[in-house]
Amino acid sequence: MQTKIAPSILSADFSVMGEAIKRLEKCGADLIHCDVMDGSFVEPITFGGQMIKNIRPLTKLPLDAHLMIEHPKTQIKFFAEAGADIITVHYKACAKISDTYLKETLELIKSYGVKCGAVVNPDVPVEKIYDVFPLCDMVLLMSVYPGYGGQKFIPEVLEKVKKAREYAIKIGRPDMDIEIDGGVTEENCAQIRAAGANVLVAGSTVFKSNDMAKTICNLKK
C-alpha cells in the first residue's frame, strides 16, 4: 500500500501559511493535516473551521481535519462546508457523551459527502472502535498524547497499528487508511510502515527540516 505523508500545519509559521502550503505541495506532501484543538478536550487552542476555509482555495491536496474537541457533532457541518476532505473525531470525546455518539458523528460526516475516521489515544485499546471500522475511511492512532507537537513517539502503539490493519483486512477493508500521529521521524518511519500504517502525520520533522522534499521522500521509503 502506498505511504502517504500528511504534514501537520500546526508546526508551520501561521504568518506565511499560504507559502507553507504551496511548499508542501512542491515537496511531495499527500495530505494537509489540520489539528483543531478547543482548549477543553486538550489544553491548547489552535484554530477552527475558518482556517480550513482559508486554506481550501490554496491547494488541491486533501485537507485532513483532526478534531480534538468536545461535542464534535456540533461542529461537523461547519468543517464539512469549510472544505475538509476527511474529518476524524476522538473516541474519548464521544464516549463521554453516549455509547452511540461516535457512530452518529461518523454517519453525520458521511452525510456531507466527506470521508470520516475515528481516533484513539495511546491509552485507549483499538478494540474500542472495532464496531465503527465499517463506517471509517480512516483510523487514526495517536502515538503521543494529543495537545502538543514535538513529543517522542510511544513505541507500544505499534502493536495497536498491527491490530488495526489486521482487523481492517478481516472485515474486508484492506485498503483502509491507518494513520499514525505523533513523534514520526525518519528514524522510526520504517517500523511504523511495517506495522501497517500507511498515512504518517509529521509536523516538526517536516517543518524543521533543512530539505523538506528529501525528508518527505525519506518518510515514504
Q: What percent of the chain shows pLDDT beyond 70?
A: 100
Looking at residue 221, what is its pLDDT? 85
Q: Is-contact 143 182, C-beta < 8 A?
A: yes
State yes or no: pLDDT of 148 exceeds 90.
Answer: no
Confidence of residue 163 (pLDDT cuts 50, 70, 90): very high
Model confidence, pTM: 0.96
**Amino acid, res. 214:** K
DSSP result, 137-183: SEEEEESS-TT-SSPPP-TTHHHHHHHHHHHHHHTT-TT-EEEEESS
Looking at residue 146, what is its pLDDT? 86
Active site residues: 35, 181
CATH code: domain of residue 76? 3.20.20.70
Mean pLDDT of 139-147: 93
Half-sphere exposure of 7 (CA within 13 A, CB side): 28
Mean pLDDT of 119-145: 97
State yes or no: pLDDT of 14 exceeds 80.
Answer: yes
Looking at residue 149, what is its pLDDT? 67
Q: What is the pLDDT of residues 68-85, one digit of tens each?
A: 999 999 999 999 999 999
What SS3 class is residue 66?
strand
Confidence of residue 151 (pLDDT cuts 50, 70, 90): confident
The whole-chain average pLDDT of the chain stands at 96
Q: What is the pLDDT of residues 34-63, one digit of tens each?
A: 999 999 999 889 999 999 999 999 999 999
Number of domains in the chain: 1
- Over the range 113-123, which residues count as b (16 or more CB within 10 Å of their CB) and which as e? ebbbbbbbbee
Confidence of residue 66 (pLDDT cuts 50, 70, 90): very high
Looking at residue 1, what is its pLDDT? 86
Domain that residue 142 falls in: 4-220
